[in-house]
């Protein structure tokens, strides 16, 4: 599980990204230059990617570590399978 400080930081990141996306919507409504919009979308995607990486790092240091150190081999396999699946899904969407 994520500690309160980490959760608060990630929530702030996501709120900031949400604001950024709202700015992109405004750019579209104002019929701004397409390349400028694309650059802003890429910046928002990068921010989401960094947020995802931060959540993954926390998960590795908490849930995965606990499962690996634990005695339940089924739980260990489940957690490792989840991580593999996340990376499989990420690679498919690229």
SS3 of 53, please?
A: helix
User: 10 Å Cβ neighbour count for 47?
Assistant: 17
- Alpha carbon distances (Å) from 66 to 1, 41, 47, 51, 73: 10, 37, 28, 22, 12
Cα–Cα dist 81/55, whole Å: 17
Structure confidence by residue, pLDDT tens digits, 24-73: 999 999 999 999 999 999 999 999 999 999 999 999 999 999 999 999 99
Domains of the chain, by residue range, sit at 4-93
Structure confidence by residue, pLDDT tens digits, 70-90: 999 999 999 999 988 988 877
Q: What is the pTM assigned to this prediction?
A: 0.82
Task: Judge: domain 4-93, CATH 3.40.50.261.
Answer: no
């Amino acid at each position: 599980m994520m500690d309160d400080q980490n959760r608060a930081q990630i929530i702030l990141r996501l709120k900031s990204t949400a604001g950024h996306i709202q700015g992109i919507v405004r750019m579209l409504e104002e019929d701004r230059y397409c390349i400028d919009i694309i650059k802003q979308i890429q910046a928002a995607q990068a921010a989401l990617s960094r947020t995802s990486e931060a959540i993954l790092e926390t998960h590795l240091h908490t849930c995965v570590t606990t499962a690996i150190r634990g005695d339940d081999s089924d739980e260990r396999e489940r957690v490792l399978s989840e991580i593999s699946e996340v990376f499989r899904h990420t690679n498919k969407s690229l």
